[in-house]
Structure 1
Amino acid sequence: MSGGGRSMTAKFREEPLVPLGVLATIGAFLYASQGIYRNNTKMTQWGMRGRVVMQGLTLLALVGYGVYGAAGVVRERRQDARQIDWEKLERQAKEAEAAAASSAPPSHPDPAIAMLIDKARERKAKSVFASDDDAAKK
Structure 2
Amino acid sequence: MEINCKYCPKNDGTGACNIDDCPLTPIIQEMEEISGFLNITCQNNPVEIQERIAATMVYVVRTGEMLADAKRMLRKRKSDEIQNTIIKIAQENCLSAKVQNALLDSIAENESFLVDRLDRLNASATHQLDALRTLLSYEKEALRLNKTGY
Indicate the structure (1 or 2) with the bigger Cα radius of gyration.
Answer: 1
* TM-score, normalised relative to structure 2: 0.44
* TM-score, normalised relative to structure 1: 0.48
